[in-house]
Amino acid sequence: MSAARLDITGVASVSAAMFCLVYGFSNAAAHGRHARSTLAFLAAGVVLLAFLAFWQTRARYPLLPPRVVLDRNRGGSYLAILVAGAAMFGIFLFLTYYLQTTLHYTPMKTGLAFLPMVAMLAGFAQLSNIVLMPRIGPKALVGAGMLVAASGMAWLTRIGVHTGYASAVLGPIMVTGAGLGLAIPSAMNAGTFGVQPGDAGVASATLNTGQQVGGSIGTALLNTIATSAIASYLAGLAAGRRASRPPSPGAIQAAAAVHGYSTAFWWTAAIFAAGGTICGTILRRGPLTRQAQGSQPDAHAARAVLRASPHARD
């Protein structure tokens, strides 16, 4: 029996595709969304992903076997982790900017400010894993969790230059943490459930890779969106300013930055909402244990044969 070999073509195509997508989104911040270089890299990334999908159906030792991804629960879970990674990294990036540059928090205080969100995520992760997942399955938890996170991010758009942590940040990040605690552990459980022993490593690695790739794409995309929003805000302010005593440059920059952060949070809310709707539609209804029983159809037949055997008494 020959040992499996590394899918060099698959590795090269997916690596090149991720580079083109991330670089394309990053390039848009510096050269604009309609620049030829931006469009060329994004188009190349899409083409390479399409080639990867085609190649995985032809390769002898595919990097990501189609049988792992084409299961509805696993495919929906991988997509959920990708979306959650893209949106979650945006939260940490722009909320850190806001806390440190606008509210003038120290790095230590900023880290402490995230603890309520982490606590809610951990608490609701235990609730979803131990209490809810065995009863209702991943469909409702992933879909509802992302929608809850989307509502938290929409609430976070109310930040301002002079708002405080308790009034504008604490509540939204706790709601977002609760939504992530419902969605992410449920998706991870569904993403590794029911795979063949030989595919267990692939399923686990796909979840981890999806989170990292989502974070890379989300950070590049949301940073481009925020940068464009800040530039548009400053341009509009410069064109329409007629006040006799215009605000100071520092106040203008602070207001523009908060506008950019709020825009990024709106987009993050939209990403969560779209992910919750799509993934909630893809995932199957019911707990995963019901599907596990269906994967062992011969168990009852084997026991019946054993009872009917004349040697069963022995």
pLDDT of residue 2: 55
Structure tokens at 261: 């952060």
Residues 267-296, mean pLDDT to the nearest whole number: 80
Q: Give the DSSP letter of residue 247.
A: P
Measured CA to CA, the distance from residue 306 to residue 190 in angstroms comes to 34
Whole-number pLDDT of residue 3 = 63
Q: What is the pLDDT of residue 63?
A: 87
Go through the chain and tell me how many residues it has.
314
Question: Which amino acid is it at 146?
Answer: M
**pLDDT score of 241:** 60
Angle CA 135–196–46, to nearest 5: 90
Cα–Cα dist 86/77, whole Å: 14
pLDDT at 44: 96
Q: What is the pLDDT of residue 295?
A: 40
Instruction: Say which CATH topology domain 68-287 has.
Output: Growth Hormone; Chain: A; (1.20.1250)
Domain range annotation of the chain: 1-63, 68-287
pLDDT: which is higher, 209 or 32: 209
In tens, the pLDDT along 40-79 reads 999 999 999 999 999 999 998 888 888 888 899 999 999 9
Greatest Cα pair distance, the chain, in angstroms, is: 103
Q: Which residues contact 243 (CB under 8 A, 6 or more apart)?
A: none
Burial of 133 (C-beta count, 10 Å sphere; 0-12/13-18/19+): buried
Per-residue pLDDT of 215-241, as tens digits, reads 989 998 999 999 999 998 888 877 766
Report in angstroms the alpha-carbon separations of 142 from 8, 77, 157, 272.
Answer: 34, 8, 23, 10
What is the percent of the chain where pLDDT is above 70? 88
Angle, nearest 10°, between helix axes 170-192 and 200-240? 150
Residues 116, 177 contacting (CB under 8 angstroms): yes
Mean residue pLDDT across the chain: 87
Burial class of 252 by CB neighbour count within 10 A (0 to 12, 13 to 18, 19+): middle
Q: Which two tokens stand for residue 136?
A: 């209702």
pLDDT exceeds 50 at position 210: yes
User: For every residue of 220-268, which 3-state class applies, written as one string?
Assistant: HHHHHHHHHHHHHHHHHHHHHCCCCCCCCHHHHHHHHHHHHHHHHHHHH
Which residue reads 């552990």 in tokens?
185
Are 9 and 55 in contact by the 8 Å Cβ rule? The answer is yes
Place of tokens 């690695």: 205
- The closest of 226, 132, 112 to 178, measured between CA atoms, is 132
State pTM to two decimals.
0.84
